[in-house]
């Protein structure tokens, strides 16, 4: 797949469902982008209120904890703009109001590259990746990117009252696509990825084998990316929107 060179991408927007989605699935890649000078923004649709592993933690505290975890993890990867919409888990649905919120951020950030979830079912990774919020996020984010964000006549209040001009995202990277066509070698940023995941203490504090688990998860990408044995890669389905 012919993708934009990182040196030609000034800004990237990551739209995910939960705190930790981006870091689990693309943390090494985000670290690479930051290292090349790309300004990355995270837009997290929910606060992950159904997450966590410790029953002793009051459930009412989880949204605040997970926001803090995400902000700490993002800083490790070089991301300093993290935004939350604060939706409850399981409530993400395609609708004009949510699309408008995402279009607003697209027009504010003006990214050349958008990373979000694939809206498809991936049967080969059913349990680890096909959460309803993941698929719903992909559906609404892609619809916000096209046709809404680039259409001056869609969500007119954004232009008329907020002076947010239409913006077309040139390149879209999908997480958990059924047919990945682009791989990023993250061997040199793998430790950063793990450090970011460790920052999600409410989710990973009990996972002693975290680094090993992550290596095992992405090992199949090495051969698919035609990389030498021992290298590590993250996989994406990249599509152009131009």
Length reported for the chain: 242
Q: Which burial class, exposed, middle or buried, applies to 211 when counting CB atoms under 10 A from its CB (0-12, 13-18, 19+)?
A: middle
CB 25 within 8 A of CB 173: no
CB 66 within 8 A of CB 57: no
| pLDDT at residue number 128 | 61
| pLDDT at residue number 190 | 98
* Residue-range domain boundaries for the chain: 6-240
CB 12 within 8 A of CB 41: yes
CATH of 6-240, one of 3.40.50.10320, 3.40.1160.10, 3.20.20.80, 1.10.760.10: 3.40.50.10320
Q: What is the pLDDT along the chain (242 residues), one digit of tens a residue?
A: 799 999 999 999 999 999 999 999 999 999 999 999 999 999 999 999 999 888 889 999 999 999 999 999 999 999 999 999 999 999 999 999 999 999 999 999 999 999 999 999 888 777 666 799 999 999 999 999 999 999 999 999 999 999 999 999 999 999 999 999 999 999 999 999 999 999 999 999 999 999 999 999 999 999 999 999 999 999 999 999 98
What one-character DSSP code corresponds to residue 145?
I
CB 126 within 8 A of CB 172: no
| pLDDT at residue number 147 | 97
Count the helices and strands in the chain (H runs, E runs).
Answer: 9, 7
Pairing state of beta strands 171-175 and 113-117? Answer: parallel
Exposure class string for 176-190: b at 16+ Cβ within 10 A, else e: bbeebebbbbbeebb
**pTM recorded for the entire structure:** 0.96
Which residue, among 195, 236, 211, 224, has the nearest Cα to 69 in the 3D structure?
A: 195
Is the C-alpha dihedral spanning 142, 216, 28, 53 positive or negative?
A: positive
The overall longest dimension of the chain from CA atoms, in Å, is 54
């Amino acid at each position: 797949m012919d993708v934009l060179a990182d040196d030609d991408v000034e800004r990237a927007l990551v739209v995910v469902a939960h705190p930790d989605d981006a870091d689990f699935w693309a943390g090494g890649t985000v670290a690479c982008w930051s290292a090349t000078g790309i300004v990355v923004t995270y837009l997290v649709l929910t606060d992950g209120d159904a997450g966590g592993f410790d029953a002793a933690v009051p459930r009412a505290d989880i949204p605040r904890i997970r926001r803090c975890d995400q902000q700490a993890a993002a800083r490790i990867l070089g991301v300093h703009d993290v935004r939350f919409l604060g939706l409850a888990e399981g409530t993400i649905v395609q609708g004009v109001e949510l699309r408008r919120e995402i279009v607003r951020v697209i027009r504010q950030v003006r990214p050349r590259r958008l990373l979000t979830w694939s809206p498809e079912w991936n049967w080969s990774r059913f349990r680890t990746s096909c959460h309803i919020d993941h698929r719903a996020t992909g559906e609404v984010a892609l619809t916000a990117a096209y046709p809404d964000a680039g259409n001056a006549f869609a969500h007119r209040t954004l232009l008329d009252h907020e002076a947010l001009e239409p913006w077309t995202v040139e390149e879209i990277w999908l997480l958990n696509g059924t047919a990945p066509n682009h791989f990023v070698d993250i061997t040199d940023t793998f430790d950063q990825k793990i450090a970011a995941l460790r920052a999600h203490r409410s989710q990973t504090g009990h996972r002693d084998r975290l680094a090993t688990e992550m290596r095992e998860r992405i090992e199949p990408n090495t051969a698919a990316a035609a990389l030498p044995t021992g290298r590590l890669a993250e996989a994406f389905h990249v599509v152009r929107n131009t």
